[in-house]
Chain A
């Protein structure tokens, strides 16, 4: 097969979709994660149910939602419930298998900051805050982060901890009795990182075609661990690209 041209965003979408293989439920945000989940439903996870914090279970959006409260998520869904029920009966009950999260800052243990850059009381930049992220990070069985690699985002120390990952590493999360397993993958625009070591510290696990470990290290604010074996992830297939471009995001809004 000849080389296909694709963007970094398309690669992130494709990788995020592939890792949802076999998943039954996923907690979705708008934008790129939304495209990834819909791609997964068309490919590796035909039975996946999309759950949105606005109170939708089993969404079948006919267009890319403009926001998390878009009525396209309601029309054709399996069920629409109050947010009290969504967070209590679905999330806290443990029915969310995978959650896709992101943030302005992430540290080596997968803790996230979406609240503030600088001091909380004298912020340099005021960010949106938690939304549902804090309880999603605590309660989802597995968390996958989707973030572009940038030195200002992959930081040695967060300015604010909004959503807990593996806390201070090792068994620190388990000791707090958090129900969910915490961060498992970080899907970036250059490769995939995981936390599969006893310190639960982020490590480079796989690279996209044409990327070296040094390219990744330049964008990370600490000395990055490398997994024993670093895989190369296959480029998007023609069918994956067709689904994204023609069916899921024909306007190219998020590419």
Chain B
């Protein structure tokens, strides 16, 4: 159970990772190609965690970096690519050549992963979905099963619940209790938060509780299930955060080239992760000019009237 009574869960990234991610933990840093908390991934590398089971629908650059750093023994996923660019070479090196160490894979389709989170979130024994028929995905993953529908419509595929030890989710804002608001792509963040034993939320802004209460429809994750709140501006760089910053596509393209050589990746990790004290140091090293280029023009929605009833 999370520390629900605690009213102030604001901690540093170092404290949050030290408290909730241990060697051998299963960790889901989620967010569908955006809201990817690179800051948390880098801190896990910096704290030299080992034998993690990394869980993420789209492993993206952050898991490529963590796997190159030797943090993981297993990956649970549904699409392994550098989105819109190409391959994830570090993961491929681990899978194809065992460098720096072998990596066990457990794979699903996207809806299968979403279903695993949904079953985990509502503490159900499985999630039924119309997928996998006639494919080899069933052959290589014994956890995907076909059942007879008890109501007689034929076969249906099922996937088991997934309950990560810890979910790490990036968002625009939260209050100090961890009530978290997200807008833009909602992905699977709600399901993975409720599925996980512990939740760390990482936000661009920490706001007063009144800001949250003024717009309750936007609250995706309640503080009730949140263990730690980390204030980390640009914590999802180089991925997108709706309304705050764009993807730094040059970084994604540069990684495509650099990551093809393990030695170059080791050098990159030394310079950009181990060589820096924290994410604030990373942001300083990047420089404000580069970050300013990623800021979108404003596009405001009309405000809504919730009405006051008393």
Contact = CB atoms under 8 A, between A and B. Distances in A.
Interface string B269-310: 000000000000000000000000000100100000000000
B80 to A, nearest CB: 5
B95 interface: yes
Nearest to A114: B79
Nearest to A165: B134
Contacts of A30: 83-84
Contact of A135 (B32, B58, B130): B130
A177 interface: yes
A130 B187 contact: no
Given A66-B249, A84-B114, A135-B109, A125 B134 contact: no
- Most-contacted residue by chain A among B87, B91, B111 (CB, 10 A): B111
A167 interface: yes
B78 A131 contact: yes
Nearest to B186: A82
A48 B186 CA distance: 23
B110 interface: yes
Contacts of A124: 96
B131 A134 contact: yes
B191 interface: yes
A126 interface: yes
A22 interface: no
A125 B96 contact: yes
Contacts of B152: none
A82 B155 CA distance: 26
A160 B136 contact: yes
B124 interface: no
B130 A120 contact: no
A117 to B, nearest CB: 10
Contact of B110 (A130, A139, A161, A179): A130
B296 A83 contact: no
B137 A135 contact: no
Given A130-B107, A132-B110, A120 B186 contact: no
Interface string A108-125: 000100010000110111
Given A68-B83, A71-B242, A53 B249 contact: no
Interface stretch (A73-81, A192-200, A205-213, A223-231): A73-81
A69 interface: yes
A164 B77 contact: no
Interface in B216-238: none
B133 A120 contact: no
Contacts of B111: 83, 87-88, 91-92, 132, 135
Interface residues of A, number: 56
A115 B188 CA distance: 23
Given A83-B188, A167-B134, A69 B107 contact: no
A172 B118 CA distance: 32
A167 B135 CA distance: 9
A161 B32 contact: no
A87 B80 contact: no
- Most-contacted residue by chain B among A55, A71, A74, A139 (CB, 10 A): A71
Nearest to B81: A128
A120 B92 CA distance: 13
Given A74-B242, A131-B109, A132-B110, A65 B185 contact: no
Contacts of B188: 82-84
Given A84-B191, A162-B137, A56 B185 contact: yes
A67 B33 contact: yes
A167 B78 CA distance: 22
Contact of B135 (A80, A87, A162): A162
A81 B186 contact: yes
A69 B188 CA distance: 13
A126 B80 contact: yes
Given A71-B246, A84-B191, A177-B154, A161 B136 contact: yes
Contacts of B178: none
B130 A139 contact: yes
A134 B33 contact: no
A131 B79 contact: yes
A5 interface: no
B264 interface: no
Contacts of B84: 30-31, 65-68, 70
A71 B135 CA distance: 32
A212 to B, nearest CB: 33
Contacts of A51: none
A161 B58 CA distance: 20
Given A126-B92, A130-B78, A163-B135, 19 more contacts: A31-B84, A67-B84, A69-B187, A71-B246, A76-B299, A83-B32, A83-B187, A84-B114, A91-B111, A92-B130, A120-B136, A121-B140, A128-B81, A129-B107, A130-B107, A131-B79, A132-B79, A134-B109, A138-B131
